[in-house]
Structure 1
Amino acid sequence: METVRQIACLVFADAMSLDITGPLQVFASANAERQRQGLPSCYEIHLLGNEAGPITLSAGFALVADQSWHQVSAADFDTLLVPGGAGVEAMRKNEALLDWLRHAEPRVRRLGSICSGALILAAAGLLDGRPATTHWADVPALQAHPGIILQGERLHTFDASGQDGDAHVFTSAGVTAGIDLALALIESDLGRTMALAVARRLVLFLRRPGGQAQFSALLTPEPCRTPKLAALLDWIPAHLGDDLSLDALASQAGMSPRSLSRAFVQELGVGPGKYVERVRLEAARALLQDAQASIGTVARLTGFGHPENLRRSFHKYLSVSPQEYAERFGRTTSH
């Protein structure tokens, strides 16, 4: 008889509800799909809180923890998941929980996080030397742990083979990426056919195209110490179709090309050319989302010139084509 795998998820005050319910529903749907096929359930789901009982999440409603993590042995579980949310700040300072996770890590087959739950695993030192991702907005916080192999563009870092990720301790990106992770775990446990059946039941991609960059804001405006550079950054978005070469930008800023390049790297962490490309890409994303123009027109208006240049930039930063992006996020399909 096939082993019933015990799936446990931590739950704590102000956790993100979807980080918990999303992945657990995927496992529950695998049970439902197996029952539909005349097979027994293969997963049992557990919620572990600081204490058993109702715990209020950031959404304002409560989930009921059936057990306290203080009182259970991690060896009882096959897979342990750690969610994210506003409550992470308190949990990453909870030394009792961090110590429990350290003891749990060698005892469970799989230990994973959803969204900013990666910061809890990082605080416990469990991501050192391992690839890790998290919600794009929390990547800088994860970057503060130098022992981690940061892969912030990925939807999750689970790989059953261990060749492109980790099969034992792994992380996932923001919110719904926990669902992608759960599907990958089911595929590892039960095979691609079952994982695909679950994805179809839930109307999901078995493997979502692209990484999480397609959902994030590429540019985060930063205050500049150099007034001339600040003025230039305000000027660039209104002149995307103009010549924005290094010489042209230096002339506009009243600086030498070398001084301008140095200022960009010191204050923004990227050179002028890469910055301009990303501003143009952000503008193209906005136009495609609003379905304001065809892909060819978007390429011209944003300074890419030819649609092929736009396509290369989209694949470089977002891992999807402009057409795929427009179909996924636009009001209507662009042509």
Structure 2
Amino acid sequence: MDALKTIVCLIYPDFMSLDAIGPLQVFASANVERQRQGLPNYYQTLLLAEEAGPVDSSAGIQIIAQRALSEIQADQIDTLLIPGGIGERVQINNQPLLAWLRASEPHIRRLGSVCSGALILAATGLLDGRRATTHWADIDTLRRTHPNVEVLGDQLHTYDARDTQGNAHVFTCAGVTAGIDLALALVEADLGRAMALAVARRLVMFLRRPGGQAQFSALLSPEPSRTPRLAALLDWIPSRIGDDLTLEVLAAQACMTPRTLSRVFIQELGVGPGKYVEKIRLEAARNLLQDAQASISTVSRLTGFGHPENLRRTFQKHLSVSPQEYAQRFT
């Protein structure tokens, strides 16, 4: 039997417990699924810290680090994950820890971060020239403090098992529960899609989301507080997504000139009217496909994309999968 793959989570004072325990439970559940199939365990999980023993999490509970950094060789680690949490503010200046990560990186098959753990990984310099994401609340900080990192503002994770540019080796993911999505992607790369789906079912997950999916629904975008006319328009758009929603149509509905409407959208939502409508249409198409409510051709028509090719291009741009692949993931 091959040696167990050691999955390590590096914890530190005031880390977020779910960032660590959530992903590790995915790997543990994969072992359970293999046992049910009469197969041996594939993973062993380990909590690592600068010193072995209890570590305070931001949830107010202590979690035991089984090993210290000095007690393990980097080539013994298959996958290392760095969680986020308010404690990352101290760790980004922890030079011994950063030096250990830099020295260990060439010997570890997969090195990733969860949530604001990306800021620790970025502090090592290992994200320079790479694509990266983090919790939506920390995107601006990551972009401002690490200009050499290609920051993706609205993506679940950057892991890609088929990538040849290093994104299968060093990667990041968004906040909290996105760590579970990342871990499922790692399990799929190791043991296949069927196993990843079985683990998702065991964890009673409603969806198994692809890495390129948005961090949160476009329909949850905050409504503007300063422009009541725009708030009314945002309520109106979802009910008309199959219609012609050009800038001129939207401006007339909002009783504004097209130029004024574009300016207000940028001020209030940070995107123009066209991009906002595209997000709402994409959200509606996703909901129809994942619920198997209509064919791709029908979904394209109902959500205002018209031709299926338009829907395909939008899915590839925002989710990095085709509508067919998206529907298959949630069948």
Q: Check whether TM > 0.5.
A: yes
Report the equivalent of 2:27. Answer: 27
Return the alpha-carbon distance in structure 1 between the equivalents of residues 264 and 31 of structure 2.
57
Q: Does 1:308 align with 2:303?
A: yes
Report the equivalent of 1:197. Answer: 198
Q: Does 1:236 align with 2:230?
A: yes
Pairwise CA distance, 1:248: 5.6
Query: CA 1:80–1:217 in structure 2 vs 1: closer, same or farther (change >3 Å)?
Result: farther
Alignment of 1:152-301 (within 5 A): 152-162=153-163, 166-204=167-205, 207-208=208-209, 211-215=213-217, 219=221, 233-238=227-232, 241=236, 245=248, 270-271=271-272, 274=275, 277=277, 281=280
Return the alpha-carbon distance in structure 2 between the equivalents of residues 73 and 97 of structure 1.
14
Is contact 2:133-2:152 (8 Å) kept? yes
Q: Which moved more, 1:137-146 or 1:109-118?
A: 137-146
Return the alpha-carbon distance in structure 2 between the equivalents of residues 274 and 212 of structure 1.
14
Query: CA 1:274–1:126 in structure 2 vs 1: closer, same or farther (change >3 Å)?
Result: same
Query: CA 1:318–1:307 in structure 2 vs 1: closer, same or farther (change >3 Å)?
Result: farther
Q: Secondary structure at the match of 1:212?
A: coil
Pairwise CA distance, 1:134: 1.4
Partner letter of residue 54 of structure 2?
P
Is contact 2:219-2:280 (8 Å) kept? no
Report the equivalent of 1:99. Answer: 99
CA offset digits 1:115-147 (Å, max 9, x no partner): 111111111111112221212222222222222
Report the equivalent of 1:14. Answer: 14
Return the alpha-carbon distance in structure 2 between the equivalents of residues 247 and 33 of structure 1.
54
RMSD (Å) for aligned C-alpha atoms: 3.9
Report the equivalent of 1:302. Answer: none
TM-score (norm. length: structure 1): 0.71
Q: Which moved more, 1:79-88 or 1:187-196?
A: 187-196
Report the equivalent of 1:129. Answer: 129
Query: CA 1:219–1:39 in structure 2 vs 1: closer, same or farther (change >3 Å)?
Result: closer
Return the alpha-carbon distance in structure 2 between the equivalents of residues 265 and 38 of structure 1.
57
Q: Which moved more, 1:201-210 or 1:42-51?
A: 201-210
Is contact 1:136-1:216 (8 Å) kept? no
CA offset digits 1:253-284 (Å, max 9, x no partner): xxx86688678768975446556x49x959x9
Q: Which moved more, 1:181-190 or 1:69-78?
A: 69-78
Q: Which moved more, 1:208-217 or 1:66-75?
A: 208-217
Query: CA 1:257–1:100 in structure 2 vs 1: closer, same or farther (change >3 Å)?
Result: same
TM-score (norm. length: structure 2): 0.72
Determine which structure has more spread, i.e. the larger CA radius of gyration: 1
Is contact 2:14-2:87 (8 Å) kept? yes
Query: CA 1:206–1:271 in structure 2 vs 1: closer, same or farther (change >3 Å)?
Result: closer
Return the alpha-carbon distance in structure 2 between the equivalents of residues 156 and 90 of structure 1.
24
Partner letter of residue 116 of structure 2?
S
Report the equivalent of 1:67. Answer: 67
Report the equivalent of 1:3. Answer: 3
Is contact 1:196-1:206 (8 Å) kept? no
* Percent of matched pairs sharing the same residue: 53
Pairwise CA distance, 1:318: 7.8
Return the alpha-carbon distance in structure 1 between the equivalents of residues 254 and 259 of structure 2.
9
Is contact 1:157-1:165 (8 Å) kept? no
Q: Secondary structure at the match of 2:13?
A: coil
Is contact 2:233-2:253 (8 Å) kept? no
Partner letter of residue 188 of structure 2?
E
